[in-house]
A and B are shown apart, each in its own frame.
Chain A
Amino acid sequence: MSGLAVTEAELHAHVDGLLPEARRAEVEEYLATHLEDAQRVRAWREQNADLRAWFDPVLAESAPARLRRAASGRRKLPLRYAAVLGWIALGGIAGWFLHDYRIEKSTDTVAFAHRAVVAHIVYAPEVRHPVEVGAEQEAHLVAWLSKRIGGSLKIPQLGSLGYHLVGGRLLPGNQGPVAQFMFQDGSGQRLTLYVRNGAAEGKETAFRYAQERGISVFYWVDGRFGYAISGEINKDDLLRVANVVYQQLNP
C-alpha cells in the first residue's frame, strides 16, 4: 500500500483531525512506511498540543473589567468612535461651523481629551503633591506655565461654584507642553483643567463631552488653546463648570 498518493494538505488535515474517516486509515498506512513524513506529522501534532498547553490557561483568567465593559452594549459608544461619529454628524449638519476642520483632527482632539482624563486620574487623587506650584503662588504659576506653553494663560475663578484653585503643573502633551490646573471644593472633590496651545489655529468648536473610566470630560477649542475640564462628577454639574470656565476665559 506504499504506493498511495498522500498530499501535503492531507497530512495537515490528518494532524488537525479534519480528514474524512475513510481516508484516515489510508493516511496512517502511508505514514507507517514513510518515516520522514511520519516524523513531521508527529512534530506538527506536538506543536498543536504545545500551543494549547501554553495558551489555554488564558481561557481561565478573568477578563479585565475594561474588556467586559467594551463588550457591553450598556456602555456608551467607545470614546473615539462616538467622537468620530459625532464629527461626521456635525459635518453634515453644520459644515459651515467646522469650516475646513478635517476628520483626522477629531482623532487628535479625542486623543487630547483622553490625555486630559489620564492626567486627571493620575494627579487628582494625589494627597501630598497634587500640583507642582500651589495656589499661593498663583501669579508665578500663570507666568511660568504661560511661558512654557507659549501663550498667555488665564486661570478661571470657580469660587461661585464652590471650587478654589489648588495649583497647577506642567505636563508633556502629544505635541508639546501642556498645563494642568487643579481645583477643589469643600468636600475634596477635584476638577482639573487641561490646556494646550496650538490645538487648531484660530478655530472654535462647541463643547464635546466624553466619559472615560468614570471621569467626565468636556473639551473644546477656543482660538489658540484647547481645553479639557475633567472631574468625577455628573455631566450636568461639569457642564456648569465648563460654561463658567469658557465665559471667564472669553470676557
Chain B
Amino acid sequence: MEGRDRDFVQHIPRLRRYARALTGDRSRADDLVQDTLERALVKFHLWRPGSDLRAWMFTIMHNVYINQVRAGASAVVSPLDDETVQPAIRATQSDRLEVLDLQTALLSLPEDQREVLLLVGLEQMTYDEAAGVLNVPIGTVMSRLSRAREKLRISLKGGAQLPAGLKVVK
C-alpha cells in the first residue's frame, strides 16, 4: 500500500504537466489529475505489477479526459482567454509572446492530435508507448503526430518574426 502511494505521488508532477498542456488551464488540469488519481486508486487491482505504472496512469488520464470531452463538458472546450494562458515563469517579454503563440496553436489542434504531440514531444514517450496509452495502432500515432506538427509549424510561422525582433531587448 505504502509503495503504491509513493508511486502515485511520484507521478503527480508529470501528470500535472501533461494535463496543463492538454487543457491549457491550471485548475481544470488539476481536476483532471485528481480524477485520474481517484480512478487509478479504484482500479489499482487491474494494474499488472511489473508493467509501466506511468504508462498505465497516462492511459487512465487519457480515458478520463476523452470521457469528459465526449460528455461535452462545456468547460473542456472553453475558448482561450487571457487568464488561461497566463505565463507563470518565463523571463522575458519576447519569450512570452512566442510561447503564447505556441499555446494558442496547441489548443487549436484537435484533441487526438494534441495528445499525441504532447505524449511524444513533452512526455518523450516512444511511438509504441503513445500508441499503448491511446489504444490506437502505431500508424495512427504517426499520422496524428505528423498532422499535429505540420499544423503547429504553419500556425507558428506567422508569429515567428515578431519575437525575433523583440529578442534584442534581452
Contacts and interface: CB of A to CB of B under 8 A. Distances in A.
Given A57-B88, A63-B13, A72-B9, 7 more contacts: A40-B153, A44-B153, A51-B118, A54-B21, A59-B17, A67-B16, A71-B8
A6 interface: no
B16 A58 contact: yes
Contacts of A9: 142
Interface residues of B, number: 45
Interface string A37-55: 0001001100110111111
A61 interface: yes
A56 B13 CA distance: 9
Contacts, number: 109
A48 B121 contact: yes
Of the four ranges (under 10, 10 to 19, 20 to 34, 35 or more), the interface on chain A belongs to 35 or more
A128 interface: no
B112 interface: no
A47 B149 contact: yes
A148 interface: no
A58 B9 contact: no
A68 B5 CA distance: 9
Nearest to A11: B146
Interface stretch (A74-82, A163-171, A191-199): A74-82
A188 interface: no
A53 B121 CA distance: 11
B12 A71 contact: yes
Contacts of B13: 58-61, 63
A55 B13 CA distance: 11
Nearest to A53: B99
Contacts of A48: 121-122
- The main secondary structure of chain A at its interface with chain B is helix
B98 interface: yes
Interface of A: 8-9, 12-13, 16, 18, 40, 43-44, 47-48, 50-61, 63-64, 66-68, 70-74, 77-78, 81
B84 to A, nearest CB: 13
Given A58-B13, A59-B13, A77-B41, A67 B30 contact: yes
B89 interface: yes
Interface of B: 1-2, 4-5, 8-9, 12-14, 16-17, 20-21, 30, 33-34, 37-39, 41-42, 88-90, 98-99, 102-103, 106, 117-118, 120-122, 124, 126-127, 142, 145-146, 149-150, 152-153, 156
Contacts of A51: 21, 102, 106, 117-118, 121-122
Contact of B37 (A16, A56, A59, A67): A67
A81 to B, nearest CB: 5
Contacts of A59: 13-14, 16-17
Contacts of B121: 16, 47-48, 51-52
B102 A54 contact: yes
Contacts of B2: 73
Given A12-B142, A67-B33, A61 B16 contact: yes
A48 B153 CA distance: 11
26 contacts: A8-B142, A12-B146, A16-B124, A18-B127, A43-B153, A43-B156, A47-B102, A48-B121, A52-B122, A53-B99, A55-B21, A57-B88, A58-B16, A63-B12, A66-B30, A66-B34, A67-B12, A67-B16, A68-B12, A70-B34, A70-B41, A71-B12, A72-B5, A72-B8, A72-B9, A78-B38
Given A43-B153, A55-B122, A71-B5, A78 B42 contact: yes
Contacts of A56: 17
